[in-house]
Chain A
Amino acid sequence: MDFLLNLLPHLLNGVSLGLLFALIALGFMLIVGVMEVINLAHGSLFALGAYVAITLMGWKVSYAMAFLLAPLLVGAFGMLLELCLRRTYGKDPLYGLLLTFGAALVIEELIRLVWGSNEKQLVVPEQLSGAMLVGGLLYAKYRVFASVAAIGMILLLWLFLEKTPYGAMIKAGAHDSEMVRALGINLPKLRLFVFALGTALAAVAGIVLAPIWGVRPHMGVDAVVPAFLIIVLGGVGSFWGAVLAGIMVGIVVGLTGAYASEWSLLSMYLLLIALVTFRARGLFGKKTALEN
């Protein structure tokens, strides 16, 4: 019984961490799913979101406004990146991979030039800082807020994809882009929008995670690897696959952190290896023609 009582906070913490991982992976999943581009700049855009929010708050913009404005600005920057990517469509996927890798390096250096190399802090409002007592243990209030924000973003994106005509177009584009074009939908415009939405989501994740992980130019590296792992684990292009995989990774990392701490970072990779060994397409990935 004591063991279960001790285990419970770590399980809940794992779910909370998993929601944050899922938030990081959402934008990445959207861009891979619709555009079949592995956006290696996702991590740098994640960092850019945090830096833009810090700058806005430095100009006396409130935290809530910065939370809204920074993703819009990063989304606009993402549109420029998508314009650069256009020449790679229909060619070897390596071109897109190399371009986004180059973009990641450029964005990281740009951050160093504009904001410097030193650690920055994204200060959260007084109401969100401090700790709360849960079951006799202190837990950061901000962590609860971050988990709620992650749930909110997941639900908003799901509603957008499921309940709006634009969401239907995006899903159709992910399924069969040629058919979407044949139906008269402006595919370049759709891709531009999806890329902007994906980068804005990266920025949202950056803002949410900044007060927990800290803000430094290379912080994106800490985001892009789990994001990639989660979409492979969840099944490329699967919305709920990414969410479920994020939560699974969070639970595994949280529990190993508490009971076998030296394995805590390795555990997510072991989980991936174990799952992919038995189910190569991930949790909710579609069957390929070869498997039918």
Chain B
Amino acid sequence: MWDGNGTNFAHAIVKNAMRASGRNWLLLTNDYVWGHNTSKATRALVEANGGKIVDELMVPQNTRDFTSYLLKIQQMKPNVIAAAVGGDDIKALRQQVVQTKLDKSFAWINNQQDWPDVYGLGPDAIFGVFGTSWYYRLDLPGVKEFVAKYQKTYPGVQIKVPGNVFYNGYVATRELLRCVEEAGTTNNLAVIRKLEGRKMSAADRMQHHDAWIDPATHQCQQTIYMASYNDKPAEPDDIFRILSQVPPQDVADADAPKNCKLESYAATPSYEQ
């Protein structure tokens, strides 16, 4: 698992949002496992920090009309709305929130915002504070060259600069190939051993802090960036404003090692190619 999970993003965002906006929170949750996990993490953090969840509205996948949710939110008047809504649903939600100007009336947080989900929508359709694991204008060595190589390799693609999804795919594949090279085999058990606990430098991953793969969960622990809509873009694609970066140890999912039961090496089928 190469991306941050709902808990990582919730850790990064909750304390700041509570301090800035208030203690009464409403959860807007996509009704499937990712939404449930993210909302569970947000709820635990809000309550642990003295906040209150005033309601949780479940959003079935493929919901296209959010008006009844938006009316309900106005009737409940929470300080913060934490949306764990993804895919096409978040696109429709965002569009309708902006149409009703509710982006100005409430503090919205969206735990994670994937680049392809907002690219091309225009800066007006981005609202609230959200998390991401990478941005193409991070002021770090190698980022500009990475963007230039992407543009040279994929001329004419609709997404003109790489986002977090492309970035994650790239660094994950690269690390996997390195492990295959180091192991000298594609044998899955040998490759897993190389990946377990692997440390990856910040400079190599073009992030602010070193990352590692937790041997207990196999999840990559990495820097989480908080971002919002950029009202002073340097170029048309510059639609995020990075607000802060949080080191992986501060956003770690402390319960995950307890809850995650990995298959043993002996029980994992192996093959040679």
Contacts and interface: CB of A to CB of B under 8 A. Distances in A.
A188 interface: no
A9 B95 contact: no
B28 to A, nearest CB: 9
A140 B67 contact: yes
Given A257-B69, A262-B31, A142 B99 contact: yes
Interface string A1-34: 0000010011001101100000000000000000
B105 A214 contact: no
Given A138-B74, A265-B62, A213 B92 contact: yes
B58 A262 contact: yes
Interface string B201-225: 0000000000000000000000000
Contacts of A116: 158
A159 B75 CA distance: 40
A254 interface: yes
B92 A214 contact: yes
B122 interface: yes
Contacts of A127: none
B58 A261 contact: yes
Contacts of B262: none
Interface residues of B, number: 36
Given A118-B119, A120-B120, A212-B92, A137 B71 contact: yes
Contacts of A120: 120
Contacts of B75: 6, 9, 137
A223 to B, nearest CB: 9
B99 A211 contact: yes
Interface string A120-148: 11000000011100000111111100000
A253 interface: yes
Contacts of A17: 65, 67-68
A261 B31 CA distance: 10
A7 B83 CA distance: 24
B91 A266 contact: no
B121 interface: yes
A13 B64 contact: no
Nearest to B94: A214
A54 B261 CA distance: 50
Given A117-B158, A120-B120, A13 B67 contact: yes
Interface string B96-133: 10011110010000000000110111100100000000
Contacts, number: 110
A131 B74 CA distance: 13
A167 to B, nearest CB: 31
Nearest to B74: A137
B71 A214 contact: no
A250 to B, nearest CB: 9
A130 B102 CA distance: 10
Contacts of A214: 64, 88, 91-92, 95
Interface in A242-277: 253-255, 257-258, 261-262, 264-266
Contacts of B31: 262
A213 B40 CA distance: 28
B65 A213 contact: yes
A266 B61 CA distance: 11
B77 to A, nearest CB: 11
Nearest to B99: A140
Interface in A99-132: 116-121, 129-131
A216 interface: yes
Contacts of A162: none
Contacts of A142: 99
B60 A265 contact: yes
Contact of B63 (A10, A16, A138, A265): A265
A212 B65 contact: yes
A222 interface: yes
Contact of A121 (B68, B74, B122): B122
Contacts of B148: none
Contacts of A266: 60
A120 B65 CA distance: 17
B138 interface: no
B71 A13 contact: yes
Interface of B: 31, 57-60, 62-65, 67-72, 74-75, 88, 91-92, 95-96, 99-102, 105, 116-117, 119-122, 125, 158-159
Given A118-B158, A258-B71, 4 more contacts: A138-B105, A216-B91, A261-B57, A264-B63
15 contacts: A10-B72, A118-B116, A131-B101, A137-B74, A138-B74, A138-B100, A140-B96, A141-B99, A214-B91, A214-B92, A255-B68, A257-B72, A261-B59, A262-B58, A264-B60
